[in-house]
Amino acid sequence: MKNIFKITLLVLLFSISGTINAQTTKPAKKAAEKLDRSVMPGPAPAPVINVGKYEQFSLPNGLQVFVVENHKIPRVTYSLVLDIIPMPEEQLTGVSDLTGQLMRTGTTSLTKDELDEEVDFIGASLGTSATGVYGSSLKKHNEKLLQLMSDVLLNPAFRAEELEKIRTQTLSGLKAQQNEPEAISNRISKLLIYGAEHPYGETMTEATVNNITAGDCKAYYDKFFKPNIGYLAIVGDITLEEARTLITKYFSGWEKGDIAKYAPRLPMAPEATQVAIVDRPDAVQTTLKVAYPVQLQPGDADVIQARVMNTILGGGTFRLFNNLREDKAYTYGAYSSLNTDKLVARFMATTAVRNSVTDSSVVEIFNEMNRIRDEEVPMDELQLVKNYMSGNFALSLENPSTVASFAISTARYDLPADYYVNYLKNLAAVTASDVQSAAKKYILPENAYIIAVGKASEIAPRLKQFNKTKAIRYYDYEGKEYDPDKKVKPAPEGLTAADVNKAYIAALGGEKALSKVKDVTILATTSMQGMTIGFDTYRKSPDKFMVKISSGEMVFQQMGYDGTTAKIVSPMGGESKTLDGKELEDMKIEAAMFPELNFEQLGVNQKLEGIEEIKGNETYRVLLTYPSGTQSTRFYDVKTGLLIRETGDQGIAEFSDYREENGIKFPYIISQQAGPQNMDLKVLVVKVNTKLKDELFQLK
Amino acid sequence: MSSPKKIITLAGFLLAFLWAGAQNRIEFTEFDLDNGMHVILHQDNSTPIVAVTISYHVGSKNEDPERTGFAHFFEHLMFEGSEYIGRGQFDQIAMNAGAQLNANTSFDRTFYYLLLPSNQLELGLWMESERLVHLRIDSLGVETQRAVVKEERSQSYDNRPYGSIMEKTFGTAFTTHPYRWMPIGSAESINQATIDEFREFHSTYYVPNNATLSIAGDINLEQTKALVEKYFSTIPRGTKELYRPSIVEPVQRAEVRDTVYDNIQLPAVIEAFHIPAMGTPDYYALSMLTTLLSDGESSRMTKSIVDKQQKALFVSAFPMALEDPGLFMIFGIANAGIEPIDLEQAINAEIVRTQNEELTDLEFKKLQNKMETDFVTANSTMAGIAENLSDYYMYFGDANLINTEIDRYMKVTKADIKRVAKEYLTKENRVVLHYLPKQSM
């Protein structure tokens, strides 16, 4: 079966492309003539656009093979794609991806190490994915590559120990994504556009990745890796006959099989525009998307019209880019895309903007979406975009794999055999009214999701106006929805902050035990850049306090309070000062042995704000306000009563590993965070009532 | 109006080293115009397209330390328009002709390209000559691009995990040489600069005697020469002194270590070693050493640290190909639960191996096969060929290295690789950075 098409097109477009400036178009002059730079040169006669030829054959097992000869470089590349309609993976989400990776880790006759050595030794590349295999090498190593490729495709080993390595890598990758705004945005966008039950809406999580076994991967492979849904493109320094011989030799043993049919429910655009936020409190930019599902299949009658329309809107440096970047300077880039897909397609506008213009950016995106629906595109703008698109088409033909991809799309989507040959002609025929019809059909500003990944406290109030349903929806980075107002749940009826404080005192050892304490010495260490730092704290009843930071004999800093004067000294240089004002006032409270015993007398106001979950534990959240106005928030574990976190202007401190000394519990690990610095203090020893002298607290 | 991806490419630049063409010779002709502009032409009529590229030998290293980011800022300004091209029209004209265009800025040079249907060659030459001779520098364009570059910085550096790594590494490794700042520069510098300063920069560096025009594709050599003469020969030679820093970075005598807290989840380790400039014999040996360490699944670090020990998500070693002495960099992201110090020790163990053991013949052959494949397959596009010819000429004065540079790699011996590992990958000569997650509530 030979299906050759070699079509040569004289494309009128290339002469039309000067239309806008037709009045200035003139042929190239000779160098000797005086140059008038104000004259923009026109094009020379249009070149011949040759879409290129491919040849095709198939194996008895159904594998369809497309060959594009190109002898410029002595290299051959093979890419096999399987026409798999994805199925929901549910609790095993990620199994297709992991299978794709696992196939590259060894065959029944080669371990991963052996396979890697063989591939690298010939300077080749060989990759596998959920939907195919890719290989490339120099012509002289061609047969060796095919032998490896066919082994990987037909005899994958699915070794459990290799899956474990991939799992570790995948989990690390998921973790890394938690801080990539674009990755988070893509996750949540998929979830909203397609829905959690649709295969396109699923994303793997730590839990689903942990569920997957080597057996699951083999099952996925057995279900989908069949030659009768395979399209193999061969591009490069090879002839049809060479290809036929080699492919017959290496791929005939691949057995065909039935593929289960599956048709997921069709996702619909939302009935009214919905705002969704993923909170990143540190973000300096908002990653913004406006998106929704649409019905647009490859080969649909209006695909080219729809593509022209999207290009005008934002498929390059056009309306969105011109508006948001060049006119308003809100962003480094703003684009839109409209894909085609057999199951379900989607529209998406995307940009990243500084927090303060998040709302203005949405306004401008909607303005552009409405404009392309409501107004016919001006002729010169339409012509510009058509010229740009036909130019891109022509430029893409430089790469021989473009022709191979045309051939595969033609076969895979049942396109007319001359679809790509006629592409430029059909593109040229698109009118302004076609564009507007496509916009009315595919651009839906009233039925969109607005997905914003950024600093919620700043952007949520700005985005509220766009939300036309009940409320803004909040998601965590994994796509779990939560109610931001319910982050803090109400405390049980009747419970007060004083009760929580009392429970804390009881948990520490009780009022009686605490009041017996005359002095305390806590020796702790932390490590900073490889150095061990000592962090020693001394307290003496009722209100003396000293802390010393040192390494060996070197004392970096000391802070002391003798009941009246508070001083900071820095023997190694740095700031030394005597505290006054608010700082001194607060010191009086902080220096108290157990201020909790006397909050009322000290004038500390406590307010129970509710129950909040911290690291999986429920805590009572209590706001403390000192007489000076200084505030801090404390979190007491509901179960144990102990203080586990305190946050304030100075940063965050977390307390854990409580151990008993003299009948009183002390936290042995204190993790402090101030600004970007983390410091974990590990307590070595706690000594109680060792008769500390008053002089210790008077710093010179 | 400018285009989407004015990314400062460092990586693209590294690749410029692996080409040449014993089996597929790249033919070209070259000449100088009277005004000092160098012109290189490569003819290939197989597809009706042409790449028109122009390189200016100015990068961030030519900048005044008080005015960093200037070279890159020009990459943006150059799309703003000129005397005969209205504001915002540069891109429009290109797109109307069915062309693609973009630019990038490195430490050493600024590169612009237009990829056009071949019947639009003359248009491309007119556009490039227009913005060389008549660039419009006004407050509207400058103000807009100031804000855009700020957002570029946010998107590419500040809001991106590990986005600050290059800046931090170069800022730590270089104390004196202008490689200590990145091409993106500082926002303050750009904010403080006056219109006159921008005009001064343009009239100094954007001159024919500081430019290489490289054209590849479906052209006729004689016609193209005539067109180049027409648009470029009347542009006067620059008269101002071109500042070429002769600053020599003092030899580093002790290891420098630092810890950086960033918005990341997984710790990262960076090691950077001072190495000679690209083009030197040791540079080629070091470049092959990076391939040995991390190119391919069976490469030393990938096999041992990523696959066997499972300590890293990935580890990559790469030479920063720079005109002045640069850096040999290793960058690894730790797997969840792995401390940076563990990853660092694993990396160091592989370095020590290269210093103590010579490669086996088989491994060395594999390395050479890899270099050969990279070199044979690299010049596959017209835009790539034009850029490579231009870079080889600009940095080494020898465009023919596009065909012969592979010989320099093939001259490297197993002993050379061991020797450079010992000589350059030392503790005293390195900067080590640990990137740690900033913890949030």
By CB atoms closer than 10 A (0-12, 13-18, 19+), residue B355 is: middle
Q: Please tell me which of the candidates A72, A112, A529 has its beta carbon nearest to residue B24.
A: A72
Do A324 and A340 fall into the same domain?
Answer: yes
Give the lowest-confidence range in A334-343, A349-358, B185-194, B247-256: B185-194
Which residues of chain A does B370 touch, with a Cβ-Cβ cutoff of 8 Å? 120, 123
In a domain, A37, yes or no: yes
Q: Compare all CA atoms of chain B with the CA of A182 and give the residue at the minimum distance.
A: B160
Do A569 and A445 fall into the same domain?
Answer: no
Chain A interface, best mutation among B8, B129, B151, B153, by max A CB count within 10 A: B151
Do A18 and A109 fall into the same domain?
Answer: no
Cβ-defined contact of B230 to A29 (cutoff 8 Å): yes
Cβ-defined contact of A326 to B155 (cutoff 8 Å): no
Domain B11-232 fold is Cytochrome Bc1 Complex; Chain A, domain 1 (3.30.830)
In a domain, A16, yes or no: yes
Do A199 and A298 fall into the same domain?
Answer: no
What confidence score (pLDDT) does residue A4 get? 31
Which residues of chain B does A18 touch, with a Cβ-Cβ cutoff of 8 Å? 96-97
Q: Could you tell me if A117 lies within 8 Å of chain B, comparing CB atoms? A: yes
Task: Measure in Å the smallest separation between the Cα of B162 and chain A Cα atoms.
Answer: 10
In a domain, A263, yes or no: no
- Residue A634 in tokens: 């404390």
Which residues of chain B does A322 touch, with a Cβ-Cβ cutoff of 8 Å? 1, 88
Surface of A (520-559) touching B: CB under 8 A: 529-530
What confidence score (pLDDT) does residue A248 get? 97
Q: Compare all CA atoms of chain B with the CA of A138 and give the residue at the minimum distance.
A: B373
Do A205 and A226 fall into the same domain?
Answer: yes
Which three-class secondary structure state does DSSP give residue B34?
A: coil
Do A565 and A463 fall into the same domain?
Answer: no
Cα–Cα dist A405/A51, whole Å: 12
Cα–Cα dist A537/A122, whole Å: 64
DSSP B420-434: HHHHHS-STTEEEEE
Cα–Cα dist A308/A292, whole Å: 19
Cα–Cα dist A641/A643, whole Å: 7
Cβ-defined contact of A119 to B298 (cutoff 8 Å): yes
What confidence score (pLDDT) does residue A529 get? 63
Q: Please tell me which of the candidates A73, A122, A285 has its beta carbon nearest to residue B380.
A: A73
Cβ-defined contact of A176 to B1 (cutoff 8 Å): no
Relative orientation angle of helices B361-378 and B401-411, to the nearest 10 degrees: 170
B256-378+399-437 in CATH: which number?
Answer: 3.30.830.10
Which residues of chain B does A17 touch, with a Cβ-Cβ cutoff of 8 Å? 96-98, 117, 120
What ipTM goes with this model? 0.84
Q: Is the bond preceding residue A542 a cis peptide, omega within 30 degrees?
A: yes
pLDDT per residue as tens digits for the range A14-70: 322 322 333 333 344 444 457 899 999 999 988 888 888 899 999 999 999 999 999
Which residues of chain A does B47 touch, with a Cβ-Cβ cutoff of 8 Å? 397-398
Q: Please tell me which of the candidates B134, B159, B335 has its beta carbon nearest to residue A181.
A: B159
Q: Do domains B11-232 and B256-378+399-437 have the same CATH topology?
A: yes
Which residues of chain A does B441 touch, with a Cβ-Cβ cutoff of 8 Å? 281, 647, 652
Q: Could you tell me if A171 lies within 8 Å of chain B, comparing CB atoms? A: yes
Do A371 and A481 fall into the same domain?
Answer: yes
Cα–Cα dist A529/A447, whole Å: 53
pLDDT per residue as tens digits for the range A643-663: 998 887 777 788 989 999 888
Which residue ranges of chain B lie beneath pLDDT 70? 1-24, 439-441
Helix-strand-coil split of chain B, %, nearest 5:
45, 20, 35
Do A67 and A26 fall into the same domain?
Answer: no
The domain ranges of chain B are 11-232, 256-378+399-437
DSSP A535-586: EEEEEETTTEEEEEEEETTEEEEEEEE-SS-EEEE-TTSS--EE--HHHHHH
Q: Write the DSSP symbol of residue A156.
A: B
Q: Compare all CA atoms of chain B with the CA of A645 and give the residue at the minimum distance.
A: B441
CA neighbor of A11 nearest in space, from A43, A54, A58: A43
Do A196 and A233 fall into the same domain?
Answer: yes
Q: Could you tell me if A73 lies within 8 Å of chain B, comparing CB atoms? A: yes
Chain B interface, best mutation among A172, A353, A380, by max B CB count within 10 A: A172
Q: Could you tell me if A139 lies within 8 Å of chain B, comparing CB atoms? A: no
Q: Which helix (H) or strand (E) holds A609?
A: strand A605-614
Cβ-defined contact of B1 to A113 (cutoff 8 Å): no
The answer to whether A272 and A295 have CB atoms below 8 angstroms apart is no
Q: Compare all CA atoms of chain A with the CA of B313 and give the residue at the minimum distance.
A: A169
Residue, of A665 and A680, whose pLDDT is higher: A665
- Residue B144 in tokens: 């807009």
Q: Please tell me which of the candidates A326, A383, A529 has its beta carbon nearest to residue B259.
A: A529
Cβ-defined contact of A391 to B95 (cutoff 8 Å): yes
Cα–Cα dist B300/B315, whole Å: 10
Cα–Cα dist A390/A385, whole Å: 9
Chain A interface, best mutation among B3, B5, B95, by max A CB count within 10 A: B95
What confidence score (pLDDT) does residue A7 get? 29
Q: Compare all CA atoms of chain A with the CA of B115 and give the residue at the minimum distance.
A: A395
The count of domains in chain A is 4
Which residues, other chains included, contact B107 with Cβ-Cβ below 8 Å and sequence gap of 6+? Answer: B10, B59, B60, B61, B178, B179, B183, B322, B323
Which residues of chain B does A394 touch, with a Cβ-Cβ cutoff of 8 Å? 48-49, 98, 117
Q: Could you tell me if A20 lies within 8 Å of chain B, comparing CB atoms? A: yes
**In terms of DSSP bridges, do strands A274-279 and A345-354 run parallel, antiparallel, or are they unpaired?**
unpaired
Q: Compare all CA atoms of chain A with the CA of B79 and give the residue at the minimum distance.
A: A326
Which three-class secondary structure state does DSSP give residue A513?
A: helix
In a domain, A144, yes or no: yes
Which runs of E-coded beta strand occur in A46-93?
48-50, 55-58, 64-69, 75-82
Q: Compare all CA atoms of chain B with the CA of A327 and give the residue at the minimum distance.
A: B144
Which residues of chain B does A168 touch, with a Cβ-Cβ cutoff of 8 Å? 310, 335-336
- Residue B229 in tokens: 């003469």
Q: Could you tell me if A36 lies within 8 Å of chain B, comparing CB atoms? A: no
pLDDT per residue as tens digits for the range A473-514: 999 888 888 877 766 777 887 888 999 999 999 999 999 999
The answer to whether B269 and B260 have CB atoms below 8 angstroms apart is no
Q: What is the mean pLDDT of chain A?
A: 88
Q: Please tell me which of the candidates B263, B303, B362 has its beta carbon nearest to residue A116.
A: B303
Do A41 and A77 fall into the same domain?
Answer: no
pLDDT per residue as tens digits for the range A532-555: 888 899 999 888 999 888 887 788
Full residue range of the structural domain in which residue A154 is found: 55-251
pLDDT per residue as tens digits for the range A207-254: 999 999 999 999 999 999 999 999 999 999 999 999 999 999 999 999
What confidence score (pLDDT) does residue A479 get? 85
CA neighbor of A411 nearest in space, from A252, A149, A245, A233: A233
CATH number of domain containing A342: 3.30.830.10
Cβ-defined contact of B98 to A652 (cutoff 8 Å): no
Which runs of E-coded beta strand occur in B33-158?
38-43, 49-56, 100-105, 110-117
Task: Measure in Å the smallest separation between the Cα of A15 and chain B Cα atoms.
Answer: 9
Q: Could you tell me if A22 lies within 8 Å of chain B, comparing CB atoms? A: no
Which residues of chain B does A34 touch, with a Cβ-Cβ cutoff of 8 Å? none
In a domain, A397, yes or no: no
Predicted TM-score (pTM) above 0.90: no
Do A446 and A311 fall into the same domain?
Answer: yes
Q: Compare all CA atoms of chain A with the CA of B365 and give the residue at the minimum distance.
A: A121
The answer to whether A70 and A400 have CB atoms below 8 angstroms apart is yes
In a domain, A261, yes or no: no
What confidence score (pLDDT) does residue A677 get? 62
CATH number of domain containing A528: 2.50.20.10
Residue A413 to residues A4, A231, A348, A406, Cα–Cα distance (Å): 18, 12, 23, 11
By CB atoms closer than 10 A (0-12, 13-18, 19+), residue A557 is: middle
What confidence score (pLDDT) does residue A530 get? 64
Tokens 């002089």 sit at which residue? A695
Q: Compare all CA atoms of chain B with the CA of A175 and give the residue at the minimum distance.
A: B265
Cβ-defined contact of B298 to A113 (cutoff 8 Å): yes
The segment with the largest mean pLDDT, out of A326-330, A439-443, A633-637, is: A439-443
CA angle (B393 as vertex; B390, B119 as ends), nearest 5: 30
Q: Write the DSSP symbol of residue B135.
A: B
Residue A415 to residues A432, A528, A586, Cα–Cα distance (Å): 25, 65, 77
Cβ-defined contact of B298 to A316 (cutoff 8 Å): no
Cα–Cα dist A647/A673, whole Å: 9
What confidence score (pLDDT) does residue A628 get? 86
Do A533 and A621 fall into the same domain?
Answer: yes
Cβ pairs bridging A and B (under 8 Å): 262
Cα–Cα dist A511/A684, whole Å: 25
